[in-house]
Amino acid sequence: MSTMILDGYNVIHAVPEMSRRLDRGVQSAREALVRLCQEYQGRRGDIERLYVVFDGRDASASGSLEQHHGGVTVLFTQEPEEADARILRVIESQRGRRCVVVSNDNEVFNNARAFGARVMSVQEFYEQLRPASARRSEPPTTSDKAALSARDAREITKAYWEHLEKKKSPPEDA
């Protein structure tokens, strides 16, 4: 069994489906993330504890710094503590358990790893939220950039080399 800790606002802002919820309010986005976490935990079965950590300055009107929603525990920090520090405290409290931290924040990522936790990008986590059938049937994503033909690539390379050669040559009127 393992413990999973999500950097709440980092996840919300990194997942388009979640960030669109912010138009309806931060509470709506938080609730949607908690529902996704509940579904994920239920589907996985190997996650004993799942925490979502938010900076406290946006805590709900009730002011509670810890809320339980089924198997998901939502933690709000209390000023001056930030979510990054609270995530590390949760890892420390889970000594002996396997911890997985979900964040795209480099500081959280590196500190969590230093504390012995496994780290997972938000994209990797979000990919796991989708049903396996949806992941396999979708074609690979392609870049928005148009691919160059081999001929065009050669012409661009040739023009670039000519440009570099001209820069090396002394000016003609010298």
Give the tens place of pLDDT for each residue, 77-94.
988 889 999 999 999 998
Most distant CA atoms of the chain, gap in Å: 80
We report the CATH number of the domain holding residue 39 as: 3.40.50
* pLDDT at position 15: 92
Answer whether residue 87 is part of any domain: yes
Q: Is the dihedral of CA 48, 11, 73, 70 positive or negative?
A: negative
Give the tens place of pLDDT for each residue, 50-63.
999 998 765 554 56
Cis upstream peptide for 80 (omega within 30°): yes
* pLDDT at position 173: 60
Answer whether residue 142 is part of any domain: no
Task: State the residue range of the domain holding 33.
Answer: 2-133
* pLDDT at position 38: 93
pTM: predicted TM-score of the whole model, two decimal places: 0.71
- Count of structural domains within the chain: 1
With b for 16 or more beta-carbon neighbours within 10 A and e for fewer, the 113-148 pattern comes to eebebebbebeebbeeeeeeeeeeeeeeeeeeeeee
* pLDDT at position 134: 53
